[in-house]
Amino acid sequence: MQKRKLGNTGLEVSAIGLGCMGMSFGYGPATDKQEMISLLHKAVDLGVTFFDTAEVYGPYTNEELLGEALSPLRDKVVIATKFGFQPDPNGGPRWIGLNSRPEHIKKVAEASLKRLKTDVIDLFYQHRVDPNVPIEDVAGAVQDLIKEGKVKHFGLSEAGAGTIRRAHAVQPVAALQSEYSLWWRKPEQEILPLLEELGIGLVPYSPLGKGYLTGKINENTQFDSSDFRNTLPRFTPQALKANQVLIALIQDIAQQKGLTPAHIALAWLLAKKPWIAPIPGTRKLERLEENIGAANVTLSTTDLQEIDSAAAKVELTGERYPEALEKLTGL
């Protein structure tokens, strides 16, 4: 597996990482723990060094899963986790808002360290920007954790250009995590140029469009009742049908090259910038192997121009999130 450096901070990760949320949360019922531990071990065997989680995934159970699976392999892996949500004070499973107050960030770090069975968090992201806390205070709190040796690198997630610049002035930002793929290209407008200017890496989540870009989902697909895609405007039957034009384009390119749509979608991201490291998620070994295979796919400048030109003509249907969730992003 190729390695990539996220920006100028020296944080080196595998070109393809593994988003672990779906193992515990979001995409239907949690999968058997021992099966997921085996999958995580297999990922390491295949060269994956970059694993993404968050306290909110479960909540807490995804961090616990990674702690159990990866603590024996700790010197081989980079673990990213996130802070920034406010848990229910009554102990319920839901989160009641945002909380990036410095004292809360430090409590989350201590709890995450215990669940992850480690003495340091490699990359600590603010999960969503908290409008009630100056980003300078957030960056300062993570800086304190870095000075204490509890965190190595600071990250932001779904932050806007102004927020990134202000945070970076206090504590260098190693990486921005943001949705970015052939069906969500808004970061190209302001975010990618800024990251290049400041020397910050990009970690695209949902690089396969929450599964849609694999070509295995259509308007007849039925999701489990607990699958959060049921709530997303782009996953209504009407949108899934209308957006098949993009899938047809990707499938055609993949067929010409003897590849899969997932290969094309991930290789497209990798070819954009050398400091981009996507984190597709999966619970299946065959999908893990397929996704990792994209690291060996080389798209030429001509290939990229053809893909970009064709994709630009596709007008996609449906917003990526409901309005209330979209308001939590800074893009």
Query: Where in the sequence numbering do the catalytic residues fall?
Result: 57
DSSP H or E segment with residue 301: helix 301-312
Rounded Cα gap, residues 100 and 115, in angstroms: 20
Nearest to 6 by CA among 166, 204, 184: 204
Could you give the 3-state DSSP secondary structure of residue 176?
strand
| CA–CA distances in Å: residue 80 to residues 52, 248, 261, 319 | 5, 34, 27, 27
One-letter identity of residue 262: A
Rounded Cα gap, residues 4 and 15, in angstroms: 5
Rounded Cα gap, residues 211 and 234, in angstroms: 12
